[in-house]
Each structure stands twice: as C-alpha cells, then as structure tokens.
Structure 1
C-alpha cells in the first residue's frame, strides 16, 4: 500500500483528498505546514509527496528545495490554475509533476498513479540500457554517467530512459509525455522542456560544445548516439 504525504494548509480540501485516497487503498498522512512537512518528507517513510505551493510558514518551493537537497522522493506540486511561474519554478527545482488547484480527486489520483508507475520497477530482470558513457538500470532506477551516478528526479530518470531506448532517434514530445509522464501532452505544457533543460545541465556538453541531448525544432528531442 503506497504511503502518500500531503503537505497543504487547506484542511478541508486536504481532508477531501485524504478520504478519497484512502478509498483507493492508499495510506495517507496530512501535514498542514511546511517545516513539519519537510521533516516528515525526509524520514523515508513515504512513497510520494503532494505539496502545495502556498503554505503558512514557508513556501512550497522552499520545502521542495529542502527535500531535493537530501532526497529523490517523487513530489507532485499543487499550483494555482494558470500560474506558469509557480509551475515552472516547481519543475526547475525538482518537482516530478504538477496539478492545478483546484482539481478533482480523480485528476489527483491519475497523476499520483502515473508518477508511482514510473518510479517503481516494472521488471525484476530487466537488462541494462547503454548509450556511450550512459548506463541505465530501469529496475533499480539508477543511471551512471562517465562512471559517476547521476542524481535525477523520478521524472528526469523516466525521460532519460525513454531517450536512451531510442538513442539516435528523434522522440516527439507527446511520446515523451505519454511514456515518461504517464499522460498525453497538454496544450502549452512546458514541463518536458524544463525537465530536459535540467537533464542537459547534469550531462554537460561534448568536446565540440554541443549538448548530448539535441532539440529538433518542431519534432522533439534526440539523445546523441
């Protein structure tokens, strides 16, 4: 039974989501302020964090930064509907995905399931993937780059895994969204671009100064083989 941590000061809405999640066979803990939520998120007792951007004692972005400094636990952000600034800040600081608030319990469950599916191993005997100095173990959720382990969020790992499976080929954004984020690409959704920017920074550049992940305008992304 996955254990979900909700960090949100809206007690009514959080209670609604908690009840719905329990009906869907999730174990749920709700905390109503950022500092206590951050402490709880770092205990390794949870499988996923649902984090509101607006909290009474500290911002959700500050909580996310604190989590990412010590943990790669999947984080789903609550953002204000239409607020691109909070959305992009969350993704740039390591959020795995976001859901606009207010949202329906059904939409929240769908996002949680998608994140958990891609963060958990699907096969106990899946082989290693390799593209040059990049080695990926999908079952272990581990990536090695030039013999050093990459620190990736769950979403970054999933995106890099999809690109590695299609190394040398252009992968369009909708395919990346469906296979890595677990949902179709929404209109004006920049999540893929923000995550790709973060992955590029972690991989660095080739000797000629070009990135290992190339943007093919109007088509998608390509991992150089």
Structure 2
C-alpha cells in the first residue's frame, strides 16, 4: 500500500489506520517520489492526494496507470468537484473528500481491493455485438481487441451487458455496481463517459450506451444479438459497509 500526501500529519494518520487494518504501508511526500516508489515495487493500491509538489496527483495517477492497472483512491479538497471528476477521468477507482474519516477511508480501500482481487462469479463470456467480456478472467474485448478497463469500468460494462434494453438509473448503478447507498452521482456520469470512449465507435453519438434523459442509461445491443441469459440476483450482490465515526482528518486544522 502506497500513501502519497505532502502533509505529514495526514500521511501519518492514514498510514496508521491502514497499518492497524493489517496493510503494509509505504509513504511518499511528493509526486516524483511516488512515481519512483510505484515503479520500484508495484503497490496493491495507492492512496493519492491531489495536490502534491513536483507532480500533482492527476499526473502521478496517469504515470502509475501507464505501467499497469493499479487501484487508486484519490484524496481531494472539499468542494473541488471538477478535480474529483478529473481524478476519475485519469483512472482513479474512488475518491475521498477532505476532511474525511480515516475509518471511512479504510473501508473504501478495502472495497476497492475486494473488487480488484476477488474474481466475480464464474460463468460464460458475456457477448453483445462487437463486445465480449469474460467475468472470471476480467477480460473484455471490442472487435477482438482487448480493452484497457479500470476496475469500475469493467464492473459497469458487465452490469450493462447483463441488463440489455433496461433503463438503469444512476442511483441504482451506484448501489449495485459501486455498492454505495449514497455518494456523488457524478461518479457514475464520469465512468459512463469513460466507458463510452472505449466501447463506442463515436462516443459523441453513442449507439451502445444511450442516455435516457432524466432517468439514467440504457445498454442497447446491436441488432441480431442473441438475448442474454438471466443473471441470479445473488450473483450481483455487492457487499456494503458503513460505520458512524467521530474522528476526521482536516488538512486545515
């Protein structure tokens, strides 16, 4: 686990909670050091502050993700919605807004790691037009070319393929794909946009993932695609943990 934050107090608290949760933790206080540490020993996950000296968190995330699909949980300042969206666009799997609860951060880290390391239910490939997805191997292709998908993008695409022709609200997607009962719905919007850029021939005029204005999104299989087999509800269940806590980390304190 790599914790990257230039505030020594925040870094110490985050590292301490992760250590108590059983993780081995390395730390970096600036962007170049973070990139070098991640290149030397590939971490299982990076907790990454957005504002860093040397290289900002967005650039660090880009460079780390160039070497492989390392999960990233980004730390952002309160109210910086544009920065949060940018973080998701460069490949962050989740974000936590400062000031934050260290316990919530640990739960978010554990949730991302479960998705990264726990294989989904075994089963046949999911296919629709040019798309083919292997849930067990977590591989997806478009026209025979393998897609480079983040953890969330893969899970989102799998959910769409399992529910063709059905309108899915952003709240439902957040609950059933992310496992969150509440959260910033722009997270879903950003991931749908990123997914379209990878699976649509023309992302500006999507043919596979349509927007149903005021409701959500719908996956439209190309004509001639065989109907999908029904998916047991148990196979889609997502673990969700919540805890009420008092302590927070405030960078302005």
TM-score (norm 1): 0.90
Listed as ranges, the gaps of 5+ residues in structure 2 are 222-253
| Contact 2:130 2:142 survives alignment (8 Å) | yes
Larger Rg: 2
Q: Tell me if the contact between 2:122 and 2:135 (Cα under 8 Å) persists in the aligned partners.
A: no
Match of 2:71 among 67, 71, 74: 74
Specify every segment of 5 or more residues in structure 1 that has no aligned partner in the other structure, as ranges: none
Q: CA deviation at 1:85?
A: 1.7
Report what 2:191 is aligned to.
195
Q: Could you tell me which residue of structure 2 aligns to residue 216 of structure 1?
A: 212
CA contact (8 A) 1:42 1:71 kept: no
CA distance in 2, matches of 1:144, 1:27: 34
Distance across 2 between alignment mates of 1:124 and 1:171:
22
Cα displacement (A) at 1:6? 0.8
Structure-2 separation of matches of 1:42 and 1:182: 31
Instruction: For residue 220 of structure 1, report the CA deviation from its aligned partner.
Output: 1.5
Number of residue pairs matched?
219
Aligned equivalent of 2:59: 62
Give the alignment's Cα RMSD to 1 decimal.
1.8
Report 1 or 2 for greater relative contact order, CA contacts < 8 Å, sequence distance ≥ 6.
2
Q: Match of 1:27, SS? A: coil
Matched residue, 2:133? 136
Whether the 8 Å contact between 1:170 and 1:219 is mirrored in structure 2 is yes
Runs of 4+ displaced beyond 6 Å: none
The 3-state SS of whatever aligns with 1:135 is strand
Q: How does 1:125-164 map to 2 (within 5 A)?
A: 125-164=122-161
Pick which of 125-134 and 215-224 moved more: 125-134
Tell me the CA shift for residue 124 of structure 1. 7.0
Contact kept, 8 Å, 2:119 with 2:137, in 1: the verdict is no
**1:127, CA displacement in angstroms?**
2.9
How far residue 49 of structure 1 moved from its aligned partner, in angstroms, is 0.8
Query: Which residue pairs with 1:23 in the alignment?
Result: 20
Match of 1:107 in 2: 104
Distance 2:93 2:178 in 1: 8
